[in-house]
Amino acid sequence: MIEAFFLGLLGSLHCIGMCGPIAVSLPSSTRNNQFLKAIEYNLGRILAYGFLGLVFGLFGQGLNISGIQQWVAVIMGVLLITSVFLPKLLKVKSFLTQPLLFFYTGVKNKLSYLFKSKSRFKHFGIGFVNGFLPCGLVYIVIIGALLSHSVFDAIIYMIFFGIGTSPALIILIFSSRFISKELKQKITKFIPAFIVVLGFLFVLRGLGLGIPYLSPPTEVLKPKPSIENCH
């Protein structure tokens, strides 16, 4: 859980570049509701991440039941490490990205609609839809949700990430000049190192070395047979 929070915290300056324009341009009727607007927007994003945790947590439990979740953990960990040192090896073919482009076009259209909406909950809705926009950091955290021990853990994992990304975006809504370009560059330099650490954690988890909290034994990760199946 804690690694998702810190990845969100460190990556929040990256989020400013991706989600910043949306956060800064949130529609508002009076200056007095700036704080409420920021809270509603970020609650929407966090809920969206929690929903992604639910979806990929369920999928991850399917992998666990089939007995391949540990192998997936190792593979994903290696891919994360590779993405830092040899990013060109992981370029995705265009025919694989077409369905995603279609999905994200729908997301952008929904955002456009919400910005024009007069609904009391439009800021929350904008944040929720914003949570489904393409983001490399979100994809990385989704891997963590996929490899979680339970669906609940996957949901909490994604929520912690959302909480970690919120402070910088809340500050941005109040003052876009608060964070200097130099500070942003310094902090974002830590993100690749954190991704490598996360990759190693996934590999350790998949290997089942019996290290408490880091690499639980294989028998702990595998679902236990029910009493009925023992007869």
The domain spans of the chain are 2-224
> Binning pLDDT at 50, 70 and 90, where does residue 108 land?
confident
- DSSP code for 148: -
% of the chain with per-residue pLDDT over 70: 71
% of the chain with per-residue pLDDT over 90: 17
In the three-class reduction of DSSP (H, G, I as helix; E, B as strand; rest coil), residue 211 is classed as strand
* Cα(141)–Cα(162) distance, integer angstroms: 10
Which two structure tokens, joined as six digits, stand for 9?
């915290």
For the cut 60, the answer to whether the pLDDT of residue 176 exceeds it is no
* Cα(210)–Cα(217) distance, integer angstroms: 4
Helix, strand, coil percentages for the chain (3-state, nearest 5): 75, 0, 20
Q: 39-53, 80-94, 110-124: which range is least confident on average?
A: 80-94
> Binning pLDDT at 50, 70 and 90, where does residue 11 land?
confident
C-alpha torsion sign, points 147, 153, 159, 161: negative
CB count in 10 Å sphere of residue 215: 18
Give how far Cα 131 sits from Cα of 23, 46, 47, 52, 88, Å. Answer: 12, 7, 8, 9, 27
Tell me, what's the pLDDT at 49? Answer: 95
In sequence order, the β-bridge partners of residue 211 are: 215
Model confidence, pTM: 0.74
